[in-house]
């Protein structure tokens, strides 16, 4: 039997409150395109898969919700952001998501301290050519920020917030790599012990890992 092909990173899932707000946010500010969706009315949830394709390829994407778009989703070479919506949450004033950045492992005087939970998921990230210019434009467009480029100890990178409060890191990339202003680059999670995580990613998943 032939050896199975090495896995590839296909998606990062975020649970959202309002798909209309989230889809508009990621398309307007990061030019992410809806490539496919699944609706499960019997279980009252829907899945939306977004990709940041090359600008020249946007017009050739198949219409979402078709057999062609489903085939594209599971054969594409890139990585998607999967938005999961539980039906009715957009009308529930008590519904909110946990961004993964609040937790009781923080100092109690931290504004992100939250009793009884430990931080886990951290953020997604986009690489951009100019973090300062991108941040200024996003803020001008009304996007909220957790950290601006010149704030905090680490200068030159920023964290903005999506409609549900998930953190989006803006990281500088080398100039001239892409014609597009941004590309989806990473997902971050807080994990200990690190040696166990490296072993898991490198052995069964065959993903490359680097020491810090």
Residue 98 maps to a domain:
no
Q: What is the pLDDT of residues 9-65, one digit of tens each?
A: 889 999 999 999 999 999 999 999 999 999 999 999 999 999 999 999 999 999 999
Do 56 and 129 fall into the same domain?
no
What is the pTM for the complete model shown?
0.86
Do 130 and 183 fall into the same domain?
yes
11 annotated among ligand-binding-site residues: yes
Residue 94 maps to a domain:
no
* Domain endpoint, select from 63, 88, 113: 88
Q: What is the pLDDT of residues 87-112, one digit of tens each?
A: 999 999 999 999 999 888 888 998 88
Structure token pair of residue 167: 């953190």
Residue 97 maps to a domain:
no
CATH number at residue 27: 3.10.180.10
Residue 110 maps to a domain:
no
Residue 212 maps to a domain:
no
Structure token pair of residue 113: 């301290």
Q: Where are the alpha helices (DSSP H) in 62-203?
A: 67-73, 131-140, 194-202
Which pLDDT band holds residue 124 (cuts at 50, 70, 90)? very high
Q: Known catalytic residue: 59?
A: no
Do 82 and 126 fall into the same domain?
no
Catalytically annotated residue among 68, 129, 169, 180:
169
Cα–Cα distances in Å, from 130 out to 30, 133, 140, 161, 178?
14, 5, 15, 18, 13
Residue 76 maps to a domain:
yes
- Domain of residue 73 covers 11-88
Please state, in angstroms and rounded to a whole number, the distance separating the CA atoms of residues 69 and 24: 20
Residue 177 maps to a domain:
yes
Residue 59 maps to a domain:
yes
Please state, in angstroms and rounded to a whole number, the distance separating the CA atoms of residues 183 and 150: 22
59 annotated among ligand-binding-site residues: no
Phi/psi class of residue 196: alpha, beta or left (left: φ > 0; alpha: ψ in -120 to 50)? alpha
Do 126 and 167 fall into the same domain?
yes
Structure token pair of residue 125: 């990230």
Long-range contacts of 134-137 (CB under 8 A, 24+ apart): 134/158, 134/170, 134/181, 134/182, 135/160, 135/170
Number of domains composing the chain: 2
């Amino acid at each position: 039997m032939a050896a199975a092909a090495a896995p590839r990173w296909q998606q990062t899932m975020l649970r959202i409150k309002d798909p209309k707000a989230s889809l508009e946010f990621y398309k307007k500010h990061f030019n992410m395109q809806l490539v496919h969706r699944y609706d499960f009315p019997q279980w009252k949830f829907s899945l939306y898969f977004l990709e940041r394709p090359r600008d020249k390829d946007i017009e050739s994407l198949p219409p979402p919700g078709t057999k062609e778009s489903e085939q594209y989703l599971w054969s594409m070479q890139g990585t998607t952001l999967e938005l999961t919506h539980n039906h009715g949450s957009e009308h529930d004033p008590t519904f909110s998501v946990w961004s993964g950045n609040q937790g009781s492992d923080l100092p109690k005087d931290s504004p992100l301290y939250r009793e009884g939970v430990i931080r886990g998921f951290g953020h997604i990230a986009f690489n951009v050519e100019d973090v300062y210019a991108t941040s200024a434009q996003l803020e001008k467009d009304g996007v909220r920020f957790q950290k601006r480029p010149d704030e905090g100890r680490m200068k030159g990178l920023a964290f903005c917030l999506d409609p549900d409060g998930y953190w989006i890191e803006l990281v500088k990339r080398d100039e001239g790599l892409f014609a597009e202003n941004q590309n989806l680059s990473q997902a971050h999670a807080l994990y200990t012990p690190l040696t166990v995580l490296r072993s898991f990613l490198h052995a069964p998943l065959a993903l490359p890992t680097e020491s810090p």
